[in-house]
Chains A and B, each alone.
Chain A
Amino acid sequence: MSGFSIIIAGVGGQGTVLASRVLAQAAVAQGLAARTAENIGMAQREGSVQSHVRIGQPDFGPLIPAGGADLMLAFEPAEAVRSLGILKPGGVALVNTAAIHPVTVTLGKSRYDEAEMRRFLQEKAPGVKFVPGTELAVEAGNIKTVNVVMLGAAAGLGILPFGPEVLLETLLAMIPAKVLDVNKRAFELGMGAAGV
């Protein structure tokens, strides 16, 4: 059965849940089947989080099996590495460049080698594209729009089962009116970053 699966990896608080909802809602609006699975609860608070989105495979579960994702949206580089096993060989990975150091690193209880993360991703995922998502979110006007920048970047790749305008329209219908402009800017900046 053909379908399109997206793994979203990030840190609790980065808005992975909204990103997966927008993707799934856009699919449903196009008459496609969609399933998501998310971490809600304890893992939210600055912990590693994953959202799974599966489009066009109604008989399969919401969790993408190992090596089953067509696309990875990683909001944080170490989380990209952690979830890389879910990406298909030859799948596309969009990775936000900004690292978030957990408290364990600050306390000297674990290590975060940013150069090593980048090297590993480039070696194991030749389709990787780095996006300065956090910078673009700040440029758009709110650091919290990293998730929307990454959605825009995904739309900009032109490989989703729906066009960028569908995704943007879906997003704008799901968020409060007072943040429409900043999110629209974030989405467009993201699109530009991936379209290169």
Chain B
Amino acid sequence: MGLPKQLLMGNEAIALGAVEAGVNIATAYPGTPSSEVLGTLATKAKEYGFYAEWSVNEKVAMEIAGGAAYAGAKALVAMKQVGLNVAADPLMSLAYLGVQGALVVVVADDPGPHSSQTEQDTRTFAKFAKLPVFDPATPEEARAMTVAAFELSHRHGMAVFLRPTTRVCHACAGVELGELRPGKVQTAPGFQKDPRWVIFPRLSYQRHQWLEQQRELLSEEFSAAPWNFVLPGGRLGIVTSGVSYLYVREAVAQSGVDATILKIGTPYPLPERKIREFLDRVDAVLVVEELDPVLEEGIKQVAFAAGRVLPIYGKRTGHLPYAGEYNVGMVLQALQRVSQGDDAVQLESAPAAELPELPVRPPVLCAGCPHRASFYAAKQATKGLDAVFSGDIGCYTLGNAPPLSMLDTCLCMGAGITVASGLQLAEPGRTHLAFIGDSTFFHTGVPGLLNAVYNRIPMKLIILDNSTTAMTGHQPHPGIGKTAMGEAVQPISIEDLVRGCGVEFVRKADPFNLKDAVAAIKEAIAFAGPAVVIMERPCIALFKKTSVYAVDEDKCINCGRCLRELGCPAMAKAEKPQIHATCYGCGLCAQVCPVGAIGEVAL
């Protein structure tokens, strides 16, 4: 008997599934939509006796989890899909070497994308790495697959992927948990010295063969596994995986189409025997899967090898899109086209009610956000310079929006510094400024800065130190002085780290002191070599506000400068500019006002 159902977010269900499986070591770097996996594990670690950490980046997290698994630990590492790119180097080699304990690699994909740079598909990555992957449709299934992934990883001695998507990670459902098991960090049998842990070309050749044998073995095992099942029906077949399975169920119920559904829970290796049996039941197949046509191509290969010729509809035939998230309506339309023919279906979706003109409402920097002040200071300091601003990944990516418009490039974690370096080399006469957050600086900013110093590239760097990893939910990092498990540790000084990289010009500034912040950036620009300004102010989520600001309507000359230049969401236009209750008291507007009409008022 399980415990009563609890309402859990998919990421919480994965974390608790790992505790059920007896996880010993868990590591991660935060990234939407994956962050709550380690966030939840960190809150359970002390109670259940295992270890959890926020690692400095995904490569570090992967290697630590891998090393622990060499010694027999049940390890979990979590990240978002682009984090896997950072961790790809150790992962590809770990795939060859295998593990002794267990290694479950949780990688959250983000169809849409809602909060990511790419729509890359981790099922494709799993195929590339030749590692098995579980693809859950719901939080319930994510929990069950997590438990199964640990077991599979241990039994086969190989790393195993779990690939939830946003609509699993950030969906809640009633989940029935098994018993949570106290794990301990140290596990038997411990690390055994053996040449198998030292990757050399000869070993790689052998392990490559082993990986291909595993593919065949696992394909057969998965054909009999509960993760791949058929809901019997008519001669139209639907193959689906992940959350799309639920859209298929709803579209089939709504349309009344009589279809046989094959739900795939292990997109690699595909359960080939199961697919052949399914193909025997149907005359045509519609494949419904978000992102890459992993199932679609796999089904075609299995059908071809089995000598079956039948129409297979999906992305390649234009029935469903490659990009973006799916929904019931899209599946319904594809289903109608397949079951009734293209002519029977009105392809234009029913005209939605004519909506009135709606205000555009993009996400913006919060009222009182120190990044707004830092960007504004950089804008003032570079007036007339035709400077280029290279940004990075974090809340401060929102500095791109008008009226700040302080982001000319954004590529990936850590790339602000290095892209600015490349631009600087190609345009020696121009001012190139990079922005990076504190957590991102620790993540992958340091090598780029070292490189700029070593190669004497005179780009300028502004580190936006808000004492947290804000965008993903305020995880600690090495500069905070606290670990994931809540232990106090010596914080690592960003200033010392920057000086340790050999940077000669280092200034700290308070972005809420506009004059000083502008002066520091101007000095950095005037300096001959690479130069760094560290803007220090905590994120507003870290403290209670102590004051707000108000406009003195008698003094205000209604020039509109405060509204026009800052884009603060606490300010609105009325007869004269107004400051709402959401003001957090940063005081930037008061420093921008040319007539001193904005002042601090007590709460």
Contacts and interface: CB of A to CB of B under 8 A. Distances in A.
Contacts of B569: 46, 102-103
A98 B171 CA distance: 29
Interface in B29-47: 32-33
B347 to A, nearest CB: 16
Given A60-B250, A112-B359, A41 B402 contact: no
A84 B352 CA distance: 10
B503 interface: no
Contact of A47 (B138, B353, B362, B402): B362
Contacts of B327: 63, 65
A45 B580 CA distance: 16
B402 A24 contact: no
A42 B353 CA distance: 28
A39 B114 contact: yes
Contact of A59 (B5, B167, B249): B249
A28 B361 CA distance: 33
A35 interface: yes
Contact of B115 (A41, A105, A110): A41
Contact of A43 (B114, B173, B571): B114
A105 B569 CA distance: 10
Given A41-B114, A45-B364, A102-B361, A35 B173 contact: yes
B361 A48 contact: yes
Nearest to B137: A61
B149 interface: no
Interface stretch (B483-491, B560-568, B594-602): B560-568
A33 interface: yes
B472 A60 contact: no
Interface in A2-24: 11-13, 20-21, 24
A41 B329 contact: no
A46 B365 CA distance: 8
Interface string A119-140: 0100010000000000000000
B364 A103 contact: yes
A113 B366 CA distance: 24
Contacts of B572: 101, 105-106
B402 A21 contact: no
A37 interface: yes
A106 B571 contact: yes
B363 A45 contact: yes
A45 B582 CA distance: 13
Interface string A22-42: 001100100001111111111
Contacts of A120: 355-356
A13 to B, nearest CB: 8
A39 to B, nearest CB: 7
Interface in B507-531: none
Contact of A42 (B114, B173, B249): B114
Contact of A107 (B172, B355, B472, B563): B563
Contacts of A182: none
A98 B114 CA distance: 27
B211 interface: no
Contacts of B573: 101, 105-106
B115, B249, B250: residue with the most chain A Cβ atoms closer than 10 Å: B250
Contacts of A104: 359-362
Contact of B6 (A28, A43, A63, A117): A28
Interface string A61-88: 1110110100000000011011011000
A106 B359 CA distance: 10
A78 B568 contact: no
Given A47-B363, A78-B359, A41 B472 contact: yes
A59 B138 CA distance: 10
B357 A12 contact: no
Contacts of A40: 32-33, 170
A28 B366 CA distance: 34
A112 B327 CA distance: 29
B242 to A, nearest CB: 10
Interface residues of B, number: 55
Interface in B326-351: 327-329
B529 to A, nearest CB: 35
B358 interface: yes
A35 B357 CA distance: 32
Contacts of B172: 20-21, 24, 34-36, 38, 62
A101 B359 contact: yes
Nearest to B138: A35
B257 interface: no
Contacts of B173: 24, 33-36, 62
Contacts of B365: 45
Nearest to B367: A46
B359 A110 contact: yes
Contacts of A178: none
A45 B361 contact: no
Nearest to A61: B246
A59 B246 contact: yes
B435 interface: no
A121 B586 CA distance: 37
B175 to A, nearest CB: 9
Interface string A93-104: 000000001111
A176 B398 CA distance: 31
A60 B362 contact: no
Interface in B356-381: 356-366
Contacts of B115: 41-43
B7 interface: yes
B581 A143 contact: yes
B148 interface: no
A37 B173 CA distance: 10
B403 A107 contact: yes
Given A36-B172, A78-B361, A116-B356, A103 B568 contact: yes
Given A42-B115, A45-B398, A107-B402, A117 B471 contact: no
A11 B581 contact: no
Given A34-B7, A106-B563, A46 B363 contact: yes
A120 B358 CA distance: 11
Contacts of A60: 246, 249-250, 253, 328
A11 B170 CA distance: 18
Nearest to A43: B363
12 contacts: A34-B174, A36-B171, A36-B172, A37-B167, A38-B172, A60-B246, A60-B253, A61-B247, A78-B359, A84-B353, A102-B359, A106-B567
Interface of A: 1, 11-13, 20-21, 24-25, 28, 33-48, 59-63, 65-66, 68, 78-79, 81-82, 84-85, 101-107, 109-113, 116-117, 120, 124, 143
